[in-house]
Amino acid sequence: MMKIGFIGSGTVGTALAVLLSRQGYRVVAVASRSRAPAERLAGAINSCRVMTSQEVANTADLIFITTPDDAIGSVVSQVKWPSGCSVVHCSGADSTDILEPARKSGAMVGGFHPFQTFASVKQAIENIPGSTFALEALEPLLTTLKDMATALGGRWIELKAADKVAYHAAAVFASNYLVTLVKMSTDLWQTFNIPTDQATRALLPLIKGTLHNIETIGIPKCLTGPIARGDSGTIKKHLSALSKKTPQLLPPYRLLGLQTIPVALAKGKINQQLADELEAVLKQSE
Ligand SMILES: NC(=O)c1ccc[n+]([C@@H]2O[C@H](COP(=O)([O-])OP(=O)(O)OC[C@H]3O[C@@H](n4cnc5c(N)ncnc54)[C@H](OP(=O)(O)O)[C@@H]3O)[C@@H](O)[C@H]2O)c1
């Protein structure tokens, strides 16, 4: 049976190693910069041993490099890769081009990126099942990675190297900027003296309700609010209040509003005339 090794025993490396071994994969070797996290990973898996990066490469058939993105290049060029092994990273932004030194040594190279956010090992173990993995590899490694994604309870898509950066920017919109949007909302609540933690508690049911609607009704039908209704009078009031209270939120409000108009049009509740009106309001200066 294929032997799997990990270089980098942080959040993603540890969660993948634990989940793969639970699914019957043979995780046998781990190396990391610090000894303690590597020992924690090895301790969680029967017959997994802590080694140097080179020893992991010599021992395993498939090696995941799960270091931070910026360390992948130095790890891959420092190790002497046995011909015929597979070297896979989990970066969302980098393509397999970064693994070129391994490919030149005769290794197969791949990308295995979970489209998910992981703040801790525990949360990663909980959230990997159900996530989509972006796979970049040639056969036969591609089939191995598809099988792994499925065994982890996930889905997969194939991605070309040239599409990797756009794919990663999509994750920034859906995850990182969602955090920013919530922060912008809580900033507005502070203008009427509700502290951030109380505001966040109040906003969460709204956010969860919106996510539920996206999941169950889908875009564009789930869109509600003044743009979906064509209420340009309400938008004017928002713009006026924002310019007085939080002028820094005016540019993102306008930009997001303009991006929302086509969604409202697609939903079919506003016509082109109302869309043009909304656009003019959102574009007009103070
Ligand atoms: N976290 C996420 O939400 C997420 C989601 C999808 C994909 N990813 C990808 O998964 C990969 C790992 O991310 P992560 O969040 O798991 O990072 P992480 O928690 O920071 O873990 C990185 C691990 O790599 C080790 N390391 C650093 N430099 C090293 C080196 N030169 N040689 C060997 N080990 C080294 C670190 O050691 P120390 O313990 O000494 O620091 C740490 O154990 C990245 O490519 C990231 O883009 C992350």
- Read off the pLDDT of residues 70-116 as tens digits, 9 standing for 90 and up: 999 999 999 999 999 999 999 998 999 999 999 999 999 999 999 99
Q: Token pair 């109380």 is at which residue?
A: 198
Q: Which of 9, 11, 39, 51 maximizes ligand 1 atoms within 8 Å of its Cβ, making it the mutation to test the pocket?
A: 11
Question: Which atom of ligand 1 is nearest to 12's Cα?
Answer: 16
CA gyration radius for the chain?
24
The CA angle 119-223-176, to the nearest 5 degrees, is 20
Between the CA of 9 and the centroid of ligand 1 the distance, in Å, is 7
pLDDT at 148: 98
pLDDT at 286: 57
Phi-psi region of 106 (alpha: psi -120 to 50; beta: other; left: phi over 0): left
Neighbours of 193 (CB within 10 A): 7
State pLDDT tens for residues 229-284: 999 999 999 999 999 999 999 999 999 999 999 999 999 999 999 999 999 999 99
- CB within 8 Å of 260: residues ≥ 6 apart: 223, 227, 228
State pLDDT tens for residues 105-119: 999 999 999 999 898
How far is Cα 56 from Cα 147, in angstroms, rounded to an integer?
Answer: 22
Between the CA of 8 and the centroid of ligand 1 the distance, in Å, is 6
The residue contributing the CA closest to ligand 1 atom 37 is 33
Question: Which atom of ligand 1 is nearest to 68's Cα?
Answer: 44
pLDDT at 285: 73
How far is Cα 217 from Cα 24, in angstroms, rounded to an integer?
Answer: 37
Judge contact between 84 and 107, C-beta under 8 A.
Answer: yes
- CATH code, residues 3-159: 3.40.50.720
Quickly list DSSP for 264-281: HHHHTSS-HHHHHHHHHH
Nearest alpha carbon to residue 2 among 17, 30, 24? 24
Its pTM stands at 0.90
Q: What percent of the chain has pLDDT over 90?
A: 98
Between the CA of 26 and the centroid of ligand 1 the distance, in Å, is 21
The residue contributing the CA closest to ligand 1 atom 18 is 10
User: Would the pLDDT of 150 be above 90?
Assistant: yes
Q: Which of 67, 125, 178 maximizes ligand 1 atoms within 8 Å of its Cβ, making it the mutation to test the pocket?
A: 67
State pLDDT tens for residues 189-214: 999 999 999 999 999 999 999 999 99
Judge contact between 133 and 156, C-beta under 8 A.
Answer: yes
Between the CA of 66 and the centroid of ligand 1 the distance, in Å, is 5
Q: Token pair 């190693």 is at which residue?
A: 17
Residues contacting ligand 1 via CB (< 6 Å): 7-13, 32-34, 37, 66-69, 71, 74-75, 89-92, 113-114, 116-118
Q: Where are the domains of the chain?
A: 3-159, 166-283
Burial environment of residue 46 by CB neighbours within 10 A (0 to 12, 13 to 18, 19 or more): exposed
Judge contact between 185 and 203, C-beta under 8 A.
Answer: yes
pLDDT at 26: 98
Q: Which of 32, 54, 98, 115 maximizes ligand 1 atoms within 8 Å of its Cβ, making it the mutation to test the pocket?
A: 32
Between the CA of 13 and the centroid of ligand 1 the distance, in Å, is 7
Between the CA of 11 and the centroid of ligand 1 the distance, in Å, is 7
